[in-house]
A and B are shown apart, each in its own frame.
Chain A
Amino acid sequence: MRPFKAFRFLSCWYLLLLIAVPFPAFAQDKYPSRPIDFIVPWGPGGGSDQTARELGKLLEPELHVSVPIINTPGATGNVGMTKFLTSPADGYTICILAWDTYALLATNRPQWSVKDFVPLGIVIQLPSGFYVAGDRFANWQAVEQAARVRPLKVAISGFGSPDEITTNFLISKGLKLNAVPFAKPGERYSVLLGGHVDLLYSPAGNIKSFVDSKQMRPIIFFSKKRLSEFPAIPTSKELGYDITLPQRRAILVKAGTDPAKVALLSEAIRKAVATPQYKAFLKESVAVPDSYLPTKATETVMRSDLQNMERIVRATAKK
């Protein structure tokens, strides 16, 4: 009885397989022919997530497949990068790289390097600055004066980020600052509004609502030119601080992906960022209007940004 049962058991699976296999092995010559996973190494609702969702939405009609967003937050984007780089180089996984994560190459030496991926383009660039709550500190000079007397607390997103590099740079210039990491954006904003920290480092767009409602005010932008939205706010360059680390976000595909697929994806991104919807999104985010850079230009910017960050990190470490 027993062997017969085992036979029936096996034959049942065999039948199932027979039902399933006759479908012809579908030709896979067309790319893309199935959904492309879009990895976001940050939680839903954040800046990178918003950019990716906006872009993913606009990429779908270009690529004629769905582009599901996969949030993998953790460790300043390291968790998501690991996931991205362990997936196959078949063009079915793309990833958004924020400069918070990219800065880790200059500070923390993560397990990945620039050689592991091909950038498809920078899709957004945002100038960053220091913000204060309500009517504290009349201007940057007032901040400087206060910071020479007692340490001011700066809310940053995490250690090893451009936030910390910038703060350390200012410390090396004689300001007394204490960088306090708050990984969740919500905490970062509420501690500033509640007066538990003095300054907040943030890209302009993320906190637009607080600025619009006069709860927060920019006090300095770390950029070369003044922002058209905030003509009265001085830049680091005018104030004599040689540091401008804007927030940029690039889309990546794994190194070793078929060049034809890379070209197709780059072209789709170029078309997506040229749509009026995306332009409106950039405006809403207080981003640089012509944020988009194609692959070649992105590689150049990435190289110079990394050198720049490494230089600053070295210079501040000496002091």
Chain B
Amino acid sequence: MFDILHSLAAGFIHVLAPVNLAALAVGLVVGMLVAVLPGLTLVMGVVLALPFTYGMSVTPSIILLTAMYVSGTYGGAITSILFRIPGEPMDVPLLWDGYSMAHVGRPAEALGWTLFAAVTGGFITATIMVTLALPFAKVALTFDAPEYFAIVLFGFTSVVALDNGSLGNAFISLLLGMLISAVGVDQIYGVARFTYGTDMLNGGIGYLPVMVGAYGLGEVLARLEQGFASPPLLGDGKVSTRIPSLAEAWKLRATFARSSLVGVLCGIVPGAGATIASFVSYGIEGQYCRRRDRLGSGIPEGIVAPQVASTASVGGHMVPLLTLGIPGSGATAVILGAFLLHGIQPGPQIFQTQPLLVYTIFASVFVGVIGMGLLGYFAIRPLIKVLYLPEAIVSVFVVMFCLIGAYSEHNDVSDLWMIVVFGVVGYLFERWRFPIAPMVLGCILGPVAEGALMTTMISYHNDWTVFFTRPVSAAAMALTAVALLYPAIRGLRRRRSVAAAAS
């Protein structure tokens, strides 16, 4: 323990070197910017930042990318709350309680809760990284394809199980999203599915055009139909961030604990770490939070849970990367690339060969979380100013960023066509009161689920009982069953009580 503290202190001193501090600051700002802008995702931001690290030495490059990663899990929350457009996939759950709270005239509170949650989640994850890195890495190794599938399946239920009135609609929307993600050349055999011989569909439909189209363009179209005269969100009130008091936060301690655990654990699931963490922890609040009946109406629990989990998932990704050399997400794959480009191979030996580097990275996460908090607190002011610009101009640039962001992922115009298509689809969903979130979730997690299911079936010779005989996947399956049955039971009980009242 003393060893760790000693190394960490050396790391802190190292982080405060001007070069590293500059890299940290740049990373935090750029990460936040990328997350705030709709269309530009965090992963893409990290990819685009990679060439800039070619010329740097290894420590500042890794600090830069890690800082982007940390602050990128927070920035998108601001746009979710203020503009109702999620900056990142992981910010979709913040549309419910976050936007609802802002919508009833309490945006400062909503922003304060996310900021508090992000900083808390960041500290928890950094502490876990430092103290439990090696045992935690062992957990990552116990996961096989059945566990991935079971956890993703539970991630799906988080959306479906929330609103009992629209269970059917949410389910259909989710399936639509999964079907959309199945278009294109399949990942296992390379067989074209539902492409009708077109190049445009051959590459598949990514979640980014769907999310950006349905939320970004769809929202702008809906406002355009009202002549860009939407009632001001803030009234005339001045918005700043109102950080919750410690007493208020202490009341939510169970939510913080649950969500950070979920965040760190879900970080291990490859493919969709922060997103799945955010949805799963929201779903868990839907079942275990004391005020679950009011979830979605703008209560802090619904803001804190997804935000804590998103930021806490950073540790879930970084630990296997540093201790085992295994990247679990798009962003960590790029960070691994940066390590390798500098001729350093992460893995268990890195703690012996490059202890200063490792502990400098750990320390940079601590410093980065503080920096993120300050940056978030001050960045909100200029962002609020945007709300006072003419709506037409703001909306046009929202659309431009959506389009450029989606284009930059593959440099492909067909992604732009998808945005237009899903912009219209998103608008129609809104008009018909069909939930959009399940579709977006289905698009993101559909391929992860399919890959895990197919791999399991091939690996275990079509023996589906493995999902129930392996402890972790059995636990996730049980949670899924509870999540699905709970609304049904609740509905039944309600009906019975109504019948009792009638007689």
| Contact present between A and B (CB < 8 A) | yes
Binding site for B on A (CB under 8 A): 37, 43-46, 49-50, 53-54, 57, 68-72, 74-76, 78-79, 82-83, 86, 104, 108, 110-111, 153, 158-160, 178-187, 189-191, 193-197, 208-210, 212-213, 215, 280, 284
In contact, A186 and B270 (Cβ under 8 angstroms): yes
In contact, A180 and B455 (Cβ under 8 angstroms): yes
Q: Are A44 and B50 also in contact (CB < 8 A) when A83-B411, A213-B349 are?
A: yes
In contact, A45 and B337 (Cβ under 8 angstroms): yes
B412 interface contact, C-beta 8 A: yes
In contact, B334 and A209 (Cβ under 8 angstroms): no
Docked pose: A153 CA to B451 CA in angstroms: 17
Which listed residue (A43, A79, A181, A184) contacts B202, Cβ 8 A? Answer: A79
Q: Are A110 and B341 also in contact (CB < 8 A) when A44-B330, A44-B334, A181-B458 are?
A: no
In the complex, the chain A residue whose C-beta lies closest to that of B458 is A180
Contacts of B325 in A (CB 8 A): 189, 209-210
B503 interface contact, C-beta 8 A: no
Contacts of A71 in B (CB 8 A): 47
Q: How many A-B residue pairs have CB under 8 A?
A: 152
In the complex, the chain A residue whose C-beta lies closest to that of B43 is A44
Which listed residue (B190, B347, B461) contacts A209, Cβ 8 A? Answer: B347
In contact, A213 and B347 (Cβ under 8 angstroms): yes
In the complex, the chain A residue whose C-beta lies closest to that of B202 is A82
Binding site for A on B (CB under 8 A): 47, 50-51, 54, 140-145, 184-190, 199, 202-204, 270-271, 320, 324-328, 330, 333-337, 340-341, 343, 345-350, 410-412, 451, 454-455, 458-459, 461
In the complex, the chain B residue whose C-beta lies closest to that of A79 is B203
Docked pose: A158 CA to B454 CA in angstroms: 12
Docked pose: A40 CA to B324 CA in angstroms: 26
In contact, A70 and B411 (Cβ under 8 angstroms): yes
In contact, B459 and A197 (Cβ under 8 angstroms): yes
Which listed residue (B141, B187, B347, B459) contacts A178, Cβ 8 A? Answer: B459
Docked pose: A79 CA to B204 CA in angstroms: 9
In contact, A190 and B141 (Cβ under 8 angstroms): yes
In contact, A49 and B459 (Cβ under 8 angstroms): no
Contacts of B349 in A (CB 8 A): 209, 212-213
Looking at B184, B340, B346, B459, which has the most chain A CB atoms within 10 Å of its CB? Answer: B340
Docked pose: A186 CA to B317 CA in angstroms: 11
In contact, B141 and A194 (Cβ under 8 angstroms): yes
Q: Which 9 A-B pairs have the closest CB atoms?
A: A209-B345, A75-B185, A45-B333, A45-B337, A194-B141, A209-B347, A196-B144, A213-B349, A79-B203
Docked pose: A69 CA to B189 CA in angstroms: 26
In contact, A49 and B202 (Cβ under 8 angstroms): no
> How close is A310's CB to chain B, nearest CB, in angstroms?
17
Other CB < 8 Å A-B pairs besides A83-B412, A184-B271, 16 of them? Answer: A45-B337, A72-B203, A72-B410, A79-B185, A79-B202, A79-B203, A82-B203, A153-B459, A158-B187, A158-B190, A180-B458, A181-B188, A185-B327, A189-B326, A194-B140, A194-B144
In contact, A186 and B187 (Cβ under 8 angstroms): no
Docked pose: A71 CA to B343 CA in angstroms: 21
Which listed residue (B145, B199, B348) contacts A213, Cβ 8 A? Answer: B348
Interchain Cβ contacts under 8 Å between A and B, 27 examples: A44-B330, A44-B334, A45-B337, A54-B341, A57-B51, A72-B411, A78-B185, A78-B202, A79-B185, A79-B410, A82-B202, A86-B199, A153-B459, A158-B188, A158-B190, A181-B455, A181-B458, A183-B187, A185-B327, A189-B324, A190-B141, A190-B143, A193-B324, A208-B345, A209-B345, A209-B349, A213-B347
Docked pose: A184 CA to B452 CA in angstroms: 11
> How close is B208's CB to chain A, nearest CB, in angstroms?
13
Contacts of B335 in A (CB 8 A): 45
Contacts of B203 in A (CB 8 A): 72, 74-75, 79, 82-83
> How close is A127's CB to chain B, nearest CB, in angstroms?
19
In contact, B140 and A190 (Cβ under 8 angstroms): yes
